[in-house]
A and B are shown apart, each in its own frame.
Chain A
Amino acid sequence: MTHTLHRRGSEEDLKHEYLVFALAAKGINWDGSEARFKRAFQICLKYHPLNYGNTYTGNIYNATAEAVADGMKPNAGFIALFDNEQAVVEILKELKQENLGQCIVVSGLFDHVHQCCRNAGLEPHTVNISGGIRGRTDKLAPEPILEINTMCGHALVSFNLIKKMVEEIRAGGITALDAAKKMALNCHCGMFNCDRAARILTSLATENQTAGAAAS
């Protein structure tokens, strides 16, 4: 349900992170939605998503676009990740023009997403606002690790895998981008932003080196 909602990061990072996804409602626009999802996905592909995916098929790192398109079901559309607002505007314009009738949700900074809507001639309909994480927050990992973890809305990239990858990067066993791609395989829906994850991993690996050097 909450999926892309509780994504964390600085506003500067989030300015370059937009997720577009398509859904269907039973009894309303459900029947035959596979073909309309496929068409919406084709439109998204024109604007070079950083990642895409379908829960049951996989993401850009382990499935072809054709496999993702063919794997769509009424209860499993697609998600596509973009790093720029103009792509979102153009996609929304095309989707409006095609009048497919499927529900489209965009996750990202509200001000920016709503401006994208207006630039595409749309009025935002409904919002879901995160009030943050409550309860035993002492059980959470530190913020940079949480930023990577919440890139998979299903939280399938464990805190410990992120920590392990930081250690391996520091030891020179893997590049930050390859470590990010390794983690992205667990996020089947295609929401994981490897570019941002790699930047955070690099920063964590460098910090650890600095801390280690200071302690020795």
Chain B
Amino acid sequence: MKINQDLCIDCGECEAYCPVEAIKRVGGNSNYIDQELCVECGVCYNSKICAVDAIEREELQWPRILRSVFSDVISPNKPTGIPGRGTEEMKTNDVTLRYKPGRVGIGLEFGRPGVGAYLRDVEKMAMALASKGIPFEKDNPMYKIMQDPSTGKFMPEVLNERVLSAIIEIELPLSRLKEVLQAIVGAESQIDTVFSLSVMSIMEGGNVPRVMEIMREVGLKPYPNGKTNVGLGRPRKELN
């Protein structure tokens, strides 16, 4: 994103809209967008807050286009070959059975809420998880920017890209949940941003109380609210 300096009237209305404080103003000069901080989420542009249409989209090249892929939720079909920002994880588990009885998923979302994340920070956690021999979800876009999924190492050219949100997804046996959550909590001091953590489990088999217990054992405080797949999904062949 950029602000056309010839059009900007220096009203400052756009500044507060930026989720990562990338819109700046120095002295009496026009507003400008700090390209290092900007995550290309498009909130300033999409909000239509600029009275003189001075906020403009730029055509992005690799690897900067990753910022838009991971941050701009309403501009689909970016030409990167990377589909979206995450997967449907448990939201379609009633038809995919990705998380079976006795197994759980973990989602780690970096940068949200409201802070942003450099991919170099996401890589640190990916490498910590890889060291435990935990495979990454192959359909998740983070997998596509890994140079070596067995080590969690990312392509070097993407490390300094900054995004509003990046998600790591893994799936593992319930028996390893405690050890892996401990590894995540142990690696968090290396991360220079926030991340939101979640655990996914099928209700069948009565695993959920044990999942909650393990989360508490490692010092997490499970929220009383969350997402529930209510089990109404059916394969089309069963309905026809």
Chain A residues close to B by CB (< 8 Å): 1-7, 11, 14, 21, 23-25, 28-29, 31-32, 55-56, 75, 92, 95-96, 99-111, 113-114, 117, 122-137, 139-141, 146, 149-150, 154-161, 163-164, 185-186, 188-189
Q: Is the CB of B92 within 8 A of A23?
A: yes
Pick from A103, A130, A154: contact of B165, CB under 8 Å: A154
List CB contacts (< 8 Å) of B107-122 with chain A.
107, 109, 112-115
Number of residue pairs spanning A and B whose beta carbons lie under 8 angstroms apart:
276
Pick from B21, B76, B164, B227: contact of A128, CB under 8 Å: B227
Known: A55-B74, A129-B226. A24 touches B92 (CB 8 A): yes
Which chain A positions have C-beta within 8 A of B41? 156
B118 to chain A, nearest CB (A): 12
Q: Is the CB of A129 within 8 A of B235?
A: no
How far apart sit A126 and B100, CA to CA, in the bound complex (Å)? 10
B188 within 8 Å of A by Cβ?
yes
Known: A14-B225, A110-B225, A132-B223. A126 touches B198 (CB 8 A): no
Known: A28-B95, A160-B15. A110 touches B226 (CB 8 A): yes
Which chain A positions have C-beta within 8 A of B169? 1
Q: What is the number of residues of chain B that contact chain A, defined by CB distance less than 8 Å? A: 79
Which chain B positions have C-beta within 8 A of A96? 232
B23 to chain A, nearest CB (A): 9
Which chain A positions have C-beta within 8 A of B94? 103, 125-126
Which chain B positions have C-beta within 8 A of A157? 19
Known: A99-B239, A128-B107, A129-B199. A107 touches B164 (CB 8 A): no
How far apart sit A80 and B230, CA to CA, in the bound complex (Å)? 15
How far apart sit A189 and B73, CA to CA, in the bound complex (Å)? 10
A100 to chain B, nearest CB (A): 7
The 9 closest A-B CB pairs, nearest first, are A1-B86, A125-B231, A101-B234, A103-B233, A25-B92, A131-B220, A131-B197, A130-B223, A126-B93
Q: Is the CB of B194 within 8 A of A137?
A: yes
Q: Is the CB of B226 within 8 A of A127?
A: yes
B5 within 8 Å of A by Cβ?
no
List, sorted by A's number, 18 A–B pairs whose CB atoms are closer than 8 Å. A2-B196, A5-B196, A29-B234, A31-B236, A95-B232, A101-B233, A103-B95, A107-B226, A122-B230, A123-B231, A125-B230, A129-B226, A132-B196, A133-B196, A140-B114, A155-B113, A155-B165, A161-B16
Q: Is the CB of B112 within 8 A of A104?
A: no
11 more A-B residue pairs beyond the given contacts A110-B224, A133-B194, with a C-beta to C-beta distance below 8 A: A23-B91, A28-B92, A28-B96, A29-B236, A101-B239, A103-B232, A124-B229, A129-B212, A130-B198, A134-B188, A188-B73
B151 within 8 Å of A by Cβ?
no
Instruction: Across the interface, name the chain B residue whose C-beta is closest to A107.
Output: B227
Which chain B positions have C-beta within 8 A of A4? 227
A97 to chain B, nearest CB (A): 11
Stretch from B25-33, B60-68, B152-160, B201-209 at the A interface:
B201-209
A37 to chain B, nearest CB (A): 13
Q: Is the CB of A113 within 8 A of B233?
A: no
Which chain B positions have C-beta within 8 A of A160? 15-18, 21
B36 within 8 Å of A by Cβ?
no
Q: Is the CB of A133 within 8 A of B228?
A: no
How far apart sit A129 and B96, CA to CA, in the bound complex (Å)? 19
A215 to chain B, nearest CB (A): 24
How far apart sit A97 and B171, CA to CA, in the bound complex (Å)? 33
Q: Is the CB of A149 within 8 A of B114?
A: yes
